[in-house]
Amino acid sequence: MQDFMRTFLRRPAGSVGLLLLALVCLLAVLAPLLYPASPWEMAGIPFSRPGENGMLLGSDTLGRDVASGIAHGARVSILIGLASTLTALCIGVPLGCIAGYAGGAVDSAIVRLTEIFQTIPSFVLAILLVAILTPSIGTIILTIGLVSWPQLARLTRAQVKTVSQREFVQAARCQGQSTPSIVLRHVLPNAVSPIIVAGSLTVAAAILIEAALSFMGLGDPNFMSWGYMVGAGRTVIRQAWWMSVFPGIAILLTVVAINLVGEALNDTLNPRISRA
């Protein structure tokens, strides 16, 4: 484990990514201390430029503090990004694994199921699900997870299919290892790199879907989120760029941080790179 951390931190991508992610998390944790007032509260004159009226990043169309919104929104965006990706991974990876390793009728059945999900435009499905389930942070996470798993399942299936043809998997079968042990210890670790990368991209996509849902008015009304801020500021972007740009930068940094961590994780898990 110590070995693992050392290799991870020695990669520039790993340390930079982790640092950025830590900063965003710190912001999320410290939000109530930095901005004790509710981010929904009108704190000053609407359309204040950054730095005016004591507001670091300016105010939005209703005079709410953008900086306060970003701090409070960090919690929701990170929570939604990570939790919904985790949900998608929990559905997609096992299904993909089973389909790819079992093959035959099981494979066809699972592939058909993913195709059903993929033929419905995912955002329309997300709107529908949230509308039915009533918007709350829990249902939003579940919904984003439900619309994001098919790509992960397909990717996992394709990876597992190629890896399980490799000779070392056949060798493991000949060694008498049980099927779950082969899949979990030999196939999955060798199939995982693109899944990690795709997973880190899913985090980004999830934050954006949440943004879009909030923009449609289907976000959780109790929580400020970056997506909501971008959505709300979008209409006046020509007069007041700061309203959407700062939350946009926050989304960008978080996504980059997660991608970097994913990349470093991938390198660390690959002994050919980490031991070089």
Partner 1 sequence: MTAPLLVIENLVLGLPQGADRSRAVDGISLKVDRNEIVCLVGESGSGKSMTAHAILGLLPSKVKALQGEIRFGGRDLIGLAPREMRALRGSNIAMIFQEPLTALNPLAKVGQQVAEAISIHGRISDRDVSARVTELFDQVGLPDPASIGAAYPFQLSGGQRQRVMIAMALANDPQLLIADEPTTALDVTTQRQILDLIVSLQKKRDMGVLFITHDIGVVADIADRVVVLRHGKVVEQGAAAAVLDSPQTDYTRDLLDAVPGRGTIRPAGNEREALLEIKDLRKVFTSRQSFFAEPRRVVAADGVDLVLKRGDTLAVVGESGSGKSTLARMVLRLIEPDGGAIRFDGAAVRAMKGETLRQFRRKVQIVFQDPYASLDPRLKIGESIVRGPMAFGASRAEAVAIATRWLGKVGLGAHALNRFPHEFSGGQRQRICIARALALDPVCLIADEAVSALDVSVQAQVLKLLSDLKAEIGLSMLFITHDLRVAREIADRIVVMQNGRIVEQAPTAELFDAPRADYTQRLLNAVPGRDFFARRALADAV
Where on the chain is the footprint of partner 1 (CB under 8 A)?
166-168, 170-178, 181, 185-186, 189-190, 269-272, 275-276
Comparison of 156 and 190: residue with beta carbon closer to partner 1: 190
SS3 64: strand
Q: Which stretches within the chain are classed as H helix?
A: 2-10, 12-34, 66-102, 104-119, 122-133, 137-165, 167-174, 179-182, 188-215, 226-234, 242-269, 271-274
Of 112 and 272, the one with the shorter C-beta distance to partner 1 is: 272
Nearer to partner 1, 33 or 105 (CB): 105
Q: Cβ 269 to partner 1, closest distance in Å?
A: 7
Closer to partner 1 by CB, 130 or 160: give it.
160
Cα separation, 186 vs 208, in Å, equals 34
50 sits in the region (left: phi over 0; alpha: psi -120 to 50; else beta) called beta
For the purposes of burial, counting CB atoms within 10 Å of the CB of 70, is it exposed (0-12), middle (13-18) or buried (19 or more)? Answer: buried
Structure tokens at 193: 């790199």
From the CB of 108, what's the least distance to partner 1, in Å?
16
Within 8 A by CB and 6+ apart from 222, the residues are 137
Please report, in angstroms and rounded to a whole number, the separation of the first and last CA atoms in the chain.
18
Residue 38 or 170 with smaller CB distance to partner 1: 170
Pick the closer one to partner 1 by CB: 36 or 176: 176
Nearest approach in angstroms of CB 189 to partner 1 is 5
Q: Which two tokens stand for residue 212?
A: 């879009």
Q: How far is the CB of 170 from partner 1 (least distance, A)?
A: 6
CA atoms of 147 and 78, how far apart (whole Å): 18
CB of 185 to partner 1, least distance (A): 8
Helix (H, G, I), strand (E, B) or coil at 59: strand
Q: Quote the least distance from Cβ 172 to partner 1, whole Å.
A: 7
- Residues 6 or more apart whose Cβ sits within 8 Å of residue 116: none
- Residue 115 in 3-state DSSP? helix
Cβ nearer to partner 1, comparing 100 with 247: 100
Residue 115 CB, shortest distance to partner 1, in Å, is: 18
